[in-house]
Amino acid sequence: MSSLLPPSTTNLTYHLGKESDSSHVFRVTTRPKHQLPSPTSSLSDPPKAYKSSNTTHVGKTRRATGLAVSACGEYLIVIGGNKAYVSRIRGDAARGFTTFVSPDPLTCLAMHPTESYFATGDDRGVVRLWYCLNDTAVPGTSDPSPSKSTATTTTLHWHAHAVSALSFTPSGAQLVSGGEEAVLVVWQLHSGQREYIPRVGAPIGAVSVCFGPNGGLEYAIALMDGGVVFVGNDTLRITRAVRRVRLDPNPTHPLPLVSHSLSNRILLPATHPASLQILSRTGAGLSLVGELEVAPASRVSRRDETPIEPVRIGLVALSTKGKETDAQWLATVDSRADAEIYLKIWKWNNTDSTTTTTASNLCTLNTRIDRPHGENRVTSLAFHPRGGDVLATTGEDGLVKIWGIRKSSDEEFWICAASFGYRNHTPSKALFSPDGSLLAVIHGQCITLWDTENTTVPRGALSCVETKDPRELAFVGSSGRYLAVLGAQTVVVWDLVRLCVLWHVPLTPHPSSSQHPPHIAAHPTRPAFAIFQYPDAKSTRISIFGVSSPTETRTRTVPFKFDQPLWEESGVLGVGTNDPSRWSLVLAGDEVQESSEEGAKARGISVDTAPFVPRTLFEDIFGRGAMGTAPSVVKTLLGKDEEVAEKKNPVETEKDKEKAKKADEFKAAKRARRKHRKVAKMEAKLLTGAGAAKNNEQDEQGGQESDPETPESSEPATEADAVEDITLE
């Protein structure tokens, strides 16, 4: 509902509701001012509620897209469809509307501030000035039947697509217009010239003229991505901007969303699908750091009515720090209709709190790889969790590729270190275990397990008989002992140490499961995970499971689609959607935490202070080889002269020296014990003869069995099977 109060009158005109493709316009007359209650009336004697003195139906129009009153307060203008409806406000409202026909559907309306004419924009990009607010075009005599009339018009045409915004300056000498082209056009009405403010950032949704902080005129432009920019009337330059989370009306599915927990940064696509916006979590809100242009391109609107297929970012992955000295990396895959496919690896620069962070100094492009899997689409990206100097990709060419860093004296870049496949199956998803010792890959109907140090042959294959179409998987718990596999209708939990299925349970069937497949997200430290199902396009059912039982520990339903969930220590981060054209970032859960300082988590965090873990997940499953740990496949294929230089900090060096010293002391003590036993044996032979020597030999054997040379734990260090209650409010 919208309302307008004409000057020097007590008539209030309402545009009410929408009935199918039509709208109804009423004129409501309010009581005179002296009949309204006094502002100083006593609360003990409250004023009576007054109804409107008169409500008159003015007329019916096509679905209204604009409503305005002339500067003199004499005429009401409504636009709808391809018609402009004009009615006199003063006098009898029963005379209805006088209709003026436009060649094309009208989209927006603006009234001249001083003169009796108005401007409209249409679907074809034409701005038309209507000179019809007079007695000739709109007769003052009562005529109950709708009348059509002709009007003198002037056309202004520059826009290639529909005009979405119009506004006059206070003097009426200029008219500004905007639309899908993301260009604000300033029309000089007296001279016929025009000026442009290009690349305002996004398609224009609305424009208004206001006074800026310095007293000069500014154009306030509301963009379709939710931002507002201000353009100076004198300089025709953007003076300031109000930014928020930028939204793409047609986002890529699945949406590439990643979170950088160490610096409280969130990356997701911007308005243009070839760019990433970088957001910073500060307190309870978000601030826009900048926009990373992954695929530089001229942002032009579509030609005619044929949409231009833009370059889209399909996959994004972020590495995590292994040590304070390790670099961090960002990997992206962008493509255009699968004809151009690029794998780009960016170096995430470390910035301190005193540095002004922008998208340009946060990331620097290091390597671009054209067609990493040939002409085939890349299906997944995953960084090694410890250090991030290894990247795994899967593609529809049937290969899993491992990428590593090659260093020289003056540069470093990424190359393919290894590639492998499994029985001509197409890999759809790859995921590293939390300790990085194992790589799990979805190959068709089974899950293959690979040693990250040697990928010549798979170390195992999990046949998912319970779910024939595995789509997603997640390592559960801090050690990654459990693997949850999600199919279209079933979830299966494997114990990788015992190589057996702990349990499987069917998911609740929903009619929209084919259009909105479920998602899985594992807790970062606890042995629990969540399943996100979508009963319809506007709700999400969240079920929490533990690894010990197929029974849900908690279930919640939220009134929006919670897509692409990421379970972090601060909560569950995802994209909330109520309708296909509007979505927002959502952080939910019992563990939601506010970030008090930007980048606070980026300082003072080092895995060197973490407890020492003697065995990896791979060793828990397959044991330690007789020949020791195999050399890294990345370092082997890169060559000895091109291995990644490892620089240890002083703390790590002192720890290594201390461990070596303790090992030497242990070996020396063991040698002394053996020598002592040999001396005792010789003395026993001399004193008691052969019988005593035999008894000592048996004692020696028992002592050796109780003191093995290479002690190993028979039970791997894993999490307890008991699951703590995890809630999601």
Q: pLDDT tens across 70-121, in order?
A: 988 888 999 999 999 998 887 665 567 889 999 999 999 999 999 999 999 9
What residue type is assigned to position 338 of the chain? D
Mean pLDDT of 26-39: 61
In a domain, residue 304? The reply is: no
3-state SS class at 427: strand
Over 60: is that where the pLDDT of 724 sits? Answer: no
Mean pLDDT over the full length of the chain: 77
pLDDT band at 230 (very low <50, low <70, confident <90, very high): very high
What's the pLDDT score for residue 608?
Answer: 34
Q: Which helix (H) or strand (E) segment is 691 a member of?
A: helix 690-706
What's the pLDDT score for residue 119?
Answer: 95
pLDDT tens-digit map of 42-66: 555 555 555 556 777 888 888 888 9
pLDDT band at 272 (very low <50, low <70, confident <90, very high): confident
Q: List phi, psi (to 5°) of 602.
A: -85, -10
In a domain, residue 211? The reply is: yes
Cα 163 to chain centroid distance, Å, stands at 30
Residue 594 structure tokens:
């506010």
| Cα dihedral sign, 224-228-234-235 | negative
Over 50: is that where the pLDDT of 197 sits? Answer: yes
Contacts of 656 (CB under 8 A, 6+ apart): 648
Q: How many CB atoms lie within 10 A of CB 469?
A: 14
Tell me how far apart the alpha carbons of residues 90 and 135 are, in angstroms, rounded to a whole number.
Answer: 13
In a domain, residue 673? The reply is: no
- The answer to whether 591 and 571 have CB atoms below 8 angstroms apart is yes
pLDDT tens-digit map of 249-269: 666 677 788 887 777 788 888
- CATH code: domain of residue 106: 2.130.10.10
Q: Which helix (H) or strand (E) segment is 359 a member of?
A: helix 359-362
| Cα dihedral sign, 295-297-299-305 | negative
Tell me how far apart the alpha carbons of residues 381 and 332 are, in angstroms, rounded to a whole number.
Answer: 8
CA-to-CA separations, 97 to 13, 30, 100, 438, in angstroms, rounded: 14, 22, 10, 75
Residue 251 structure tokens:
């986002």
Give the chain's length. 729
Residue 283 pairs in a beta bridge with: 595
What's the pLDDT score for residue 549?
Answer: 92
Mean pLDDT of 630-634: 48
- CA angle 111/115/119 to nearest 5° reads 35
Q: List phi, psi (to 5°) of 640.
A: -65, -35
In a domain, residue 203? The reply is: yes
pLDDT tens-digit map of 549-586: 999 999 999 988 888 899 988 888 888 877 655 677 88
Residue 60 pairs in a beta bridge with: 24
- The answer to whether 416 and 401 have CB atoms below 8 angstroms apart is yes
Residue 175: name the closest of 161, 159, 160, 199 by CA. 159
What's the pLDDT score for residue 110?
Answer: 95
Candidate from 21-30, 210-219, 221-230, 525-534 with smallest mean pLDDT? 21-30
Share of the chain above pLDDT 70, in %: 69
Contacts of 365 (CB under 8 A, 6+ apart): 344, 345, 346
What's the pLDDT score for residue 351?
Answer: 57
Over 60: is that where the pLDDT of 508 sits? Answer: yes
Residue 277 structure tokens:
């916006």
Tell me how far apart the alpha carbons of residues 455 and 21 are, in angstroms, rounded to a whole number.
Answer: 63
Strand segments (E) across 499-560? 500-506, 519-522, 528-536, 539-546, 554-558
Residue 332 structure tokens:
């992206």
Mean pLDDT of 284-310: 72
Whole-prediction pTM value?
A: 0.69
- The answer to whether 513 and 490 have CB atoms below 8 angstroms apart is no
Residue 196 pairs in a beta bridge with: 185
Contacts of 423 (CB under 8 A, 6+ apart): 443
Tell me how far apart the alpha carbons of residues 485 and 474 are, in angstroms, rounded to a whole number.
Answer: 7
Mean pLDDT of 132-155: 76
What's the pLDDT score for residue 692?
Answer: 47
pLDDT band at 723 (very low <50, low <70, confident <90, very high): very low
Q: How many helices (H) and strands (E) does the chain have?
A: 5, 48
634 — alpha (psi -120 to 50), left (phi > 0) or beta? alpha
Share of the chain above pLDDT 90, in %: 34
In a domain, residue 396? The reply is: no
pLDDT band at 632 (very low <50, low <70, confident <90, very high): low
pLDDT tens-digit map of 106-116: 999 999 999 99
Over 70: is that where the pLDDT of 20 sits? Answer: no
Q: Domain count of the chain?
A: 1
| Cα dihedral sign, 90-91-96-99 | negative
The DSSP result for 574-592, as a single string, is: EEEEEETTEEEEEEESTT-
pLDDT tens-digit map of 386-430: 877 899 999 999 999 999 999 888 889 999 999 999 998 999 999
Torsion angle of C-alpha atoms 295, 297, 301, 307, degrees rounded to 10: -50
Q: The domain containing residue 214 runs over which residues?
A: 2-32+52-242
Mean pLDDT of 714-729: 40
Tell me how far apart the alpha carbons of residues 66 and 83 are, in angstroms, rounded to a whole number.
Answer: 11
- The answer to whether 197 and 186 have CB atoms below 8 angstroms apart is yes
Q: How many CB atoms lie within 10 A of CB 641?
A: 7
Residue 712 structure tokens:
């190993």
Burial class (CB within 10 angstroms; exposed 0-12, middle 13-18, buried 19+) of 121? buried
Over 60: is that where the pLDDT of 358 sits? Answer: no
3-state SS class at 24: strand
- The answer to whether 381 and 315 have CB atoms below 8 angstroms apart is yes
Contacts of 711 (CB under 8 A, 6+ apart): none
Q: What is the 3-state secondary structure (H, E, C) of 146-204?
A: CEECCCEEEEEECCCCCEEEEEECCCCCEEEEEECCCCEEEEECCCCCEEEECCCCCCE
pLDDT band at 588 (very low <50, low <70, confident <90, very high): confident
In a domain, residue 720? The reply is: no
In a domain, residue 485? The reply is: no
Residue 441 pairs in a beta bridge with: 430, 448
- The answer to whether 431 and 475 have CB atoms below 8 angstroms apart is yes
In a domain, residue 72? The reply is: yes
Residue 219 pairs in a beta bridge with: 209, 231
End-to-end CA gap in the chain = 36
Strand segments (E) across 312-437? 312-318, 328-336, 340-348, 363-370, 378-383, 390-395, 400-407, 412-420, 427-432
Strand segments (E) across 270-360? 275-282, 285-293, 312-318, 328-336, 340-348
Q: List phi, psi (to 5°) of 597.
A: -145, 135
CA-to-CA separations, 543 to 72, 519, 546, 595, 726, in angstroms, rounded: 62, 11, 10, 27, 11
Burial class (CB within 10 angstroms; exposed 0-12, middle 13-18, buried 19+) of 130? buried
What's the pLDDT score for residue 162?
Answer: 92
- The answer to whether 229 and 223 have CB atoms below 8 angstroms apart is yes
420 — alpha (psi -120 to 50), left (phi > 0) or beta? beta
The DSSP result for 626-679, as a single string, is: TT-SPPPHHHHHH-GGGSPPP---HHHHHHHHHHHHHHHHHHHHHHHHHHHHHH
pLDDT tens-digit map of 425-457: 999 999 999 989 899 999 998 999 999 888 888
Q: Which residue has the higher pLDDT, 587 or 617?
A: 587
